[in-house]
Amino acid sequence: MNIQILQLLEGARAATGLTVVIDVFRAFSTACYVTEKGAEKIIPVGDIEKAYSLKEKHPDFILMGERNEKKPPRFDYGNSPTQLQNTDLKGKTIVHTTSSGTQGIAGAKGASEIITGSFVNAGAIINYIKSKNPKNVSLVCMGYACEFPTDEDTLCAEYIRNALLGQPNNFDNMKKTIWEGSGKRFFEPEKQEWAPKEDFNLCLELNKFNFVLKVEHENNYSYLNKITVLPQTNH
């Protein structure tokens, strides 16, 4: 198995084979929490205008995501898993657009298959890749606003790669590095309204979910299909 770790939008564009588009803070952690809440479908889109036009055609769709970390105008929810904890999303279709994660999905045109990447379902991702045993795996770290690499996405890629290669991982050390590095932003008082400190822990709950989210295509949009991966093992 050839495994490459790629960065940012140019990395997504260069990805081939089974591609994991990684966005730990927060898009693809949030997508897992939304799926757990029973959402019927998540439609990831890069272009915010596409999100607005889907809402216009389907007023029952829910708009979720961020620009500059914050909930855009006329959106139902931002990108914070904490703020979704007490919402009922059963049976809902969610249109999700963010500055990094969903841009990566839109950009990974050369991938043979795309799944989302985060720590909350890392074990399922690893088992899924092992079960498919592809020749080429691309782990794409979307970073902050697709502009610079971040600790959490790069470490998540390394965690997945190490497990696939049978090498050890020290998640506690990784979490400490993230806390001291790019995770600091969740502890800034002025950001608590849209990026609360609780998001940090929710996004770093290792192996909370036993499913992967695979990008599938339908009509003229893509959606995330939940695939349960059993058994879930700790990596």
Ligand X SMILES: O=C(O)[C@H](CS(=O)(=O)O)OP(=O)(O)O
**Residues in 82-111 that interact with ligand X by CB under 6 A:** 98-101
The nearer residue to ligand X, 1 or 145, going by C-beta atoms, is 145
Out of 20, 31, 63, 66, point to the residue binding ligand X (CB under 6 A). Answer: 66
Distance CA 159, CA 204 (A): 13
The Cα–Cα gap between 75 and 53 comes to 12
Among 61, 75, 128, 144, binds ligand X (CB under 6 A): 144
Instruction: Assess 154 for contact with ligand X (CB under 6 A).
Output: no
> Cis ω on the peptide bond leading into residue 168 (within 30° of 0)?
no
SS (H, E, C) 169-219: CCHHHHHHHHHHCHHHHHHCHHHCCCCCHHHHHHHCCCCCCCEEEEEEEEC
**Number of chain positions touching ligand X (CB under 6 A):** 14
Residue of 145, 162, 179, 197 that binds ligand X (CB under 6 A):
145
Contact between 23 and ligand X by CB under 6 A: the answer reads: yes
**Shortest Å, Cβ 123 to ligand X:** 21
**In whole angstroms, how close is the CB of 7 to ligand X at the nearest point?**
13
Does position 44 interact with ligand X (CB under 6 A)? The reply is no
Closer residue to ligand X, CB minimum distance, 146 or 160: 146
What does the per-residue mask of binding to ligand X show for 197-226, with x meaning CB under 6 A? ------------------------------
Q: Are 140 and 44 in contact (CB under 8 A)?
A: no
Of residues 222, 41, 45, 23, the one with CA closest to residue 120: 23
Q: Which of 211, 44, 31 is nearest to 126 (CA)?
A: 211
Binding site residues, ligand X, CB under 6 A:
23, 25-27, 66, 69, 79, 98-101, 144-145, 195
